[in-house]
Amino acid sequence: MSDTIDFWIDLSSPYAYLASERIEDIAARHGRKVRWRPFMLGAVFKTEETKPLVFYPRKGKYSEMDLARSAREHGIPFRIPSKFPVPTVAASRAFYAIEDASGHDAARDYARAVFRAYYVDDRDISDAEVALDIAGECGHDRAAVAEAIASPEIKAKFKEATDTAIEELGIFGAPFIIVDGEAFWGNDRLEMVDRWLERGGW
């Protein structure tokens, strides 16, 4: 059994962003490491017959209120971006390119920077140029990342991650957290993950 917690995210998911600001601390308290895994959530909407939260009339309105409230509880800066939701293919590929070149911790720091660029600074992370700018701001060679995200190898890595998430693991939402084979869906399950780790399951 690996001691790693898999943290499946879509880089434009607001609940994934909120969870991303807390999961490292929770894992660390229990001596665990987090493995971040961006995938393309949109790929599951069709077969699951679901859609982004904001496209449901009542659920969408509730979610906007709940996101703001959930952020306030933990002092996490948050606003719904001007362009929302967006696809994040370039940024997700950049994550895997950075992981490939510089290791997982560097990729995790990049993902956090992408989330904050979107939910704090309202930058359009669906724009490949913005995704590359953020890589540059994180200290990576912008041109090298640009070349990598256009390569078949990195494209395949993101596709494989999405296939693993949806086909193999049956994931249908984000964030989706897997601890010792046990699946937890949603930012609001972080407390349950914490209790699960504390008690070793139940």
Q: Which of 171, 179, 193, 197 binds a copy of itself (CB under 8 A)?
A: 171
Q: Which of residues 70-89 bind a copy of itself (CB under 8 A)?
A: 72-73
- Which residue from 134, 116, 122 is spatially nearest to 17, judged by alpha carbons? 116
Tell me how far apart the alpha carbons of residues 164 and 183 are, in angstroms, rounded to a whole number.
14
Residue with the two structure tokens 């690996």:
2
Question: Does the bond joining 77 to the residue before it have cis omega, within 30 degrees of 0?
Answer: no
58/152 with CB nearer a copy of itself? 58
Stretch that binds a copy of itself, among 99-107, 124-132, 144-152, 170-178 (CB under 8 A): 170-178
- Which tokens is 78 given? 């948050």
Q: Which of 3, 153, 195, 198 binds a copy of itself (CB under 8 A)?
A: 195
Q: Which of residues 39-58 bind a copy of itself (CB under 8 A)?
A: 44, 47-51, 56-58
**Helix or strand or coil: residue 183?**
strand
Confirm or reject binding of residue 62 to a copy of itself (CB under 8 A): yes
Tell me how far, at minimum, the Cβ of 121 lies from a copy of itself, in Å. Answer: 24
Phi/psi at 35 (5° precision): -110, 110
Which residues are within 8 A (CB) of 140 and not within 5 positions of it... i.e. 6 or more apart? Answer: 98, 101, 102, 106, 110
Residues in contact with a copy of itself by the rule CB under 8 A: 44, 47-51, 56-59, 61-62, 65-66, 69, 72-73, 170-173, 182-183, 185-186, 188-189, 191-192, 195, 202
